Amino acid sequence: MDLAGKTILLTGGTGSFGGAFVERVLDSTPDTVIRIYSRDELKQSEMRARLDDERLRFLIGDVRDRSRMSRAAQGADILVHAAAMKQVPACEYNPFEAVRTNVLGAQHVVDAAIDAGVERVVALSTDKAVNPVNLYGATKLCAEKIIIQGNAYAAQSKTRLACVRYGNVVGSRGSVVPLFRQQTLDGRLTITDTRMTRFWITLDQAVDLVLYALEHMVGGEVFVPKIPSMKVVDLAEAMAPGVPRDITGIRPGEKLHELLLTSDECRHAIDAGRVYVVLPEHPWWESHPNWINGKPLADGFVYSSDHNDEWLDAKALGEMLP
């Protein structure tokens, strides 16, 4: 999508994804304005100092605050919603706080975008939202539903909304990579289960996916990238060969393998080449044209981290690590 001259509102703009997205857009589009919307003034100050770019606008605010979201969205052409509570233990211990940010926050994004006439909204989701087993995943599933169904409320406006859904991001804050790095210094790694597998995506690939969705969306889609799987034990070997390991057992709310597409979703999803696209099952979608070349998925198809055509070994993982 041509972002030239556009104003982008980015919630959660100081996070791992936000930093990568901002740098990409600033490097590729000379006259795009990006509004960084987040609640941490220190992180905003650090980003301002690091990037030192007059095209950035820094707005203190919380997606929980509907009136502030509405004010931030005025005059924006595009809204990328990356704000979330995503630490599983924190969400389990503070459940309603997770609901307020991830669920009510998504509703405020929809309302603000429609009221301000924002043309395109892309919200970030996660593999944890597929058949969720913890509160974080459940709140992100709710957020997906709210964003997608927001198109029904936007039917009389120019606003269109879609989601992207992907797996673990290499080196993002709170992920296993920083944990293993610290444990390597301590001389001992903890692994919950030697059978565990995960999907793996880089920050650059996540940004590519969002830009792809902004360009191709009609409204109501969930874009799922085709990304490799990895075994957690291979990651440990890549990061800390020879370092002793303790097997601690799967934690509450943790899966052995991750899902990005279920067999139920595959009935209304297509293979579009570099991505799978889950199409909505709502009456307002029926009038949309077939916007992208794609083929239906086989009946019963499941896209899970333990049944994947592409795998990363220890060497490949080592080359991907930031």
* Contact status, residue 57 vs residue 33, Cβ threshold 8 Å: yes
Residue 231 annotated among the catalytic residues of the structure: no
Exposed e or buried b for every residue in 103-127, given b needs 16+ CB within 10 A?
bbbbbbbbbbbbebebebbbbbbbb
- Going by the DSSP 8-state scheme, the letter that residue 56 receives in this structure is E
How far apart, in whole angstroms, are the C-alpha atoms of residue 105 and residue 111? 10
Q: What's the token pair of residue 218?
A: 């009609």
| Separation CA 192–CA 232 (nearest Å) | 9
Residue 311's DSSP bridge partners are 229
| 216 membership: H or E segment, kind and range | helix 203-216
| Closest C-alpha among 233, 239, 226 to residue 305 | 226
Which residue of the set 6, 128, 140, 255 is catalytic?
Answer: 128
Q: Which of 24, 37, 17, 204 is nearest to 125 (CA)?
A: 17
Catalytic positions, written as ranges: 128
